[in-house]
Amino acid sequence: MIDWVCFLKVFIVPYRFFTLRHILTRLPNPSDWVAGLSIAGLLLPEAVAYSRIGNLPMQSGIIALFAGLLCYGMLGKSRFAIVSATSSSAALLAASVLPLTGDDEALRMLFAYGLVMVTGMMFIVAAMAKVGSITDFIAKPVLRGFSFALAFVITVHQFALFVNVKPTHTDVPRYVFALVEDILQWNWVGLALGVWALLLIQWLSRYRYVPAGLIVIALGMVLGYMLPLSNHGIHLIGNIEIQLSAPSVAKLSYSDWMRLFELGVAMLLIVYAESYSSIRTFAIKHKDEVAPNRDLLALGVSNLVSGAFHGMPVGAGYSATAANESAGAVSRWAGLVAALCVLMMLLFLLPWLAYTPEPVLAAIVIHAVSHSLSFNKLKPYFKWERDRFIVLFAIGSVLVLGVLDGLLVAIGISLLMTLKRFSSSSLSELGCYRDGHDYLTLASSNDVHTIPNILILRPNEPLFFANIERVVAEIQRRVKSLNSAVVITVILSLEETPDLDSTTLESLNELMMSFEHNHNHLILARLKEAVFELLMQTHQSASWQHVTLTRLSVSHAVKQAQQTMSNDVSVA
């Protein structure tokens, strides 16, 4: 007989969620109700708009909205994060799927929902592997540049809805040129309506508890219902049909699934990088704890559920999360309240949403991505004179090559520059500072002096397969340049190296063999635990006589070297 209590405790949710005491103490407080109501007016129009960006039915964004809010509300850690469809994931979804499916709408939806499910499964696998730092593979300048360029791309395409012009080019430079070239065909009434909606939502957003998006959508629906906007060339979004089907898996071939797994890597990185940035920003602000692996799991389940019910990819977007925090949310109940409010709006206002003018919806999207268009986030890279090239390259790649290809190229350049930096590791020679216990680089102060017959070297970067050969060759060159008649001791401080790959370990073994053969002494100092254990295995099996390993300081290694040389002189 199945123990259902045990089943619920282990496989679904902790048993404490079913206790009356827990339910009474965890009910949403008034602040969560206010926050949920405030952001619901923002989330619904954004969900509809992001569906259009992703080239999917409008119900896809709404399904994603419920999947994200409910799943993250039950499983996530952050009390401010609002997980729903985002502009970046929608644009990346469209850029990933459209080249594979062309104009076949049915196939495009199959690929899109399959990609969302693949992304969810990859999130869950990443959570199980506890790789919450996966976004470290994307440098912040790449993310900043990508976000800026993506916001610019979305803004340009939404502006085209203002003026009712549809250029066919995919790259932004030619798209903008075609847009300007057709200026005589612009719909100036639509432009005026879009600008009015944008200015209104910007003004209303200054007030903390005002649902700016809901008010603008309501006014737009009134205008669409009362005025003959179609006579002025302004399109309405039309009826939104929500048909909730049973969860299913897209029927695709093996090669198609493999292609989606490749695209899922990019989707995983972008969604999690955006989400974790939002979560971490407000966690630091309010001194909350961050649980990256738990959030990976919550985002994975959210995307898996969204894809199974034919929804879009979801993440913790900055604009919705910031609006939730600004509205006074104090727990994850705010997101669940928002889901309830959206449900009520759909039950009673769904037919009215059809009267929303497209320029009004476009204005809401532009407002949502406007925070990424700020130059203030890019200024530090130019002020510090660091990574300016990466920022500009990321922006240019997205604008010229498109969202997906531009992102992958920018990440590739970032990784190449990182590898170049590590692979060009240099050696610093250390000396004793004022006869004390501190050892600094010789060039750092006139009070730093060398120790007779002892050469102290330190790699300035972690040792790994790309730089170890160069470092070993430089060590051997410096040893040869010294007086060969004097037996010297080389102290190699490996404080920057946390672990060793097989290539590095093999090269260090060869270095130790050369010192053993030449009867010079080599001391590897300041070894991390993993490095020490690996080298000890080699040291014990080879029974080195002239090589010493120590986890202690350079000062201790110097004393050990002096004592060894003193013993050698006594024996002689």
Instruction: Please state whether 130 falls in left (phi above 0), alpha (psi between -120 and 50) or beta.
Output: left
Q: In whole angstroms, what is the distance from residue 14 CA to residue 5 CA?
A: 10
Res. 19: pLDDT tops 80: no
Both ends of the chain: CA-CA distance in Å? 83
Q: What is the CB neighbour count within 10 angstroms for residue 311?
A: 29
On the CB side of 442, CA atoms within 13 Å amount to 12
* 193-243 tens-digit pLDDT: 999 999 998 898 887 767 777 788 889 889 988 988 888 888 888 877 777
- Comparing 294 with 169, the larger pLDDT belongs to 294
* 531-546 tens-digit pLDDT: 888 888 776 655 667 7
Categorize the per-residue pLDDT at 567 as very low, low, confident or very high, splitting at 50, 70 and 90: low
In whole numbers, what is the pLDDT of the chain averaged over residues? 82
* 119-128 tens-digit pLDDT: 999 999 988 8
* 411-438 tens-digit pLDDT: 787 777 777 766 666 788 898 988 888 8
Query: Do residues 544 and 511 touch, judged by C-beta distance below 8 A?
Result: no
Q: Please indicate, yes or no, whether the overall pTM of this predicted structure exceeds 0.85.
A: no
* 79-107 tens-digit pLDDT: 888 999 888 888 888 888 888 887 788 88
| Lookup: tokens for 143 | 């993310």
Instruction: Please state whether 211 falls in left (phi above 0), alpha (psi between -120 and 50) or beta.
Output: beta
In the block, tokens 């060009």 appear at 424
- Residue 160's φ and ψ, nearest 5 degrees, are -60, -30
Per-residue pLDDT at 216? 87
